Structure 1
């Protein structure tokens, strides 16, 4: 089927957004004339590709949503429902596969809904789980199986990125300010879940070895990682 107006739901987190980029490229390759919209949390939207890969971005503000009372949350979902219905999508692809993304897929007004093989928290009851030959492989390949299901070749893994020229200039200015020259390795010690955190002393040991090997190290993270 030749879809013309597609909604891609992948709201978080950073690593998951990056893993979805090859799927977005394959989706565009398969539907070159379709309008493709990406539903994402605002804090992760910076890595959503520019046109012609993704035409439009819709935001679901999780930070704002989590601070709301029950009535406000219901009102927010009703607002999202009106917005999604107004777009008249003919295909919804839930690549999050969780309860919240399932709710958004359900209220989109689109009856043609699919997702990747690992649909959790009841999302498989809302969107059809697509399981291909890579269902036991890396998540990028699992996502690409959905593109293959839609008719894309997805032979190569491509990472389309937005225009990051401003960010590049900002990074260069920070490096010059700190008189850092030559090659460097970026270390991101923070994680959203405690179960994904590596002990700080392990990072310290690794960084000492990297520096001893003649390479500089740049630490990156958010305000919560400062300590």
Structure 2
């Protein structure tokens, strides 16, 4: 059987969908599985031992080139998918864009979410097997697994996250860098300030306090990762707070970030891709949740501590809020440091 998974974005959401791979392969080891994903996230899946092929969407480049180029690009991808002769497609995204490729990929069986769980109603026009979610499918990974179970019964229950492939060359480069920084064999704690929404961020001054306590009380030099200019500036400010003892990790490729998080002993961040990648790799995490729901999105298991803002309105899913400052400060440095120390001791 040849299967296509459609989960095009975003980084954390792609990671949350990974358990479907293990389910499908355990149900039928001979199954050939491909994945359709946005080009920027494709390196996360390249070389994955459970995947045959990764198809890339170049949505950003198509839009820059204009409407006609976007139409040509989309049609080219549809032709590429149709040529594969898929028997089954799982639309784990549930929006209009994913529905376009699901509906036109040529697969006779097209599984998607039922009306109560689909993100955008036009997606319903693309699927012919719609799966309702139960109360037990609350976590985002379980929502994806619900489609896998419905489409291909008989799989084996899998770990709550992963599996995620680590590129050997990227891992070698990361280990060389850690050795050059005299960090090989020492506790590696990664702090990742950034995330996609401003209302998900933990205040910069709290990160500075946390980094200073890591250096001063535990003697650990934190590694600061970043993804854009604003996050780089934040990393520099956090580094200054611990007297230059922190390491601002150079921005590299996505496979190199995965390799670093695999080497780490602990990762601290908000509801953001690097935290979810770390969890899928089996690395311990402390995650900070404000407007999103830790029960739905957070890493699960004893190796992870999730801190939810204690306000009565949290989680609210708002991208702007008059209580933003109050919400950010409601999770204290003491709480995060205590969770971090507990996991390091454990």
Query: For this structure pair, what is the TM-score category when the shorter chain's length is used for normalisation?
Result: 0.7 to 0.9
Give me the TM-score of the superposition, normalised by structure 2: 0.59
Query: Are residues 16 and 152 of structure 1, via their aligned partners in 2, closer, same or farther at CA, if it must alter by over 3 Å?
Result: farther
Given candidates 173, 191, 200, the residue that maps to 1:187 is: 191
1:26-66, Cα deviation, whole Å (9 max, x unpaired): 11111322221111122212222646411111111233123
Query: Are residues 167 and 145 of structure 1, via their aligned partners in 2, closer, same or farther at CA, if it must alter by over 3 Å?
Result: same
- Pair 1:220 & 2:225 matched: yes
Given candidates 35, 39, 60, the residue that maps to 1:38 is: 35
Instruction: Supply the distance in 2 between the matched residues of 1:195 and 1:104 (Cα, whole angstroms).
Output: 32
Instruction: Supply the distance in 2 between the matched residues of 1:66 and 1:151 (Cα, whole angstroms).
Output: 39
Query: Which residue of 2 is the match for residue 48 of structure 1?
Result: 45
Mapping for residues 133-172 of structure 1, pairs under 5 Å:
133-134=134-135, 136-149=137-150, 150-157=152-159, 159-172=162-175
Given candidates 85, 88, 92, the residue that maps to 2:89 is: 92
Q: Does the residue aligned with 1:216 lie in a helix, a strand or coil?
A: coil
1:154-211, Cα deviation, whole Å (9 max, x unpaired): 4231622224222221212222233335102111211223333332222222222333
Query: Are residues 27 and 145 of structure 1, via their aligned partners in 2, closer, same or farther at CA, if it must alter by over 3 Å?
Result: same
Give me the TM-score of the superposition, normalised by structure 1: 0.88
Query: Which residue of 1 is the match for residue 65 of structure 2?
Result: 68
Query: Which residue of 1 is the match for residue 200 of structure 2?
Result: 196
User: Number of residues paired by the alignment?
Assistant: 224
Query: Are residues 191 and 51 of structure 1, via their aligned partners in 2, closer, same or farther at CA, if it must alter by over 3 Å?
Result: closer
RMSD: 2.1
The one of the two structures with greater contact order (alpha-carbon pairs below 8 A, sep at least 6) is 1
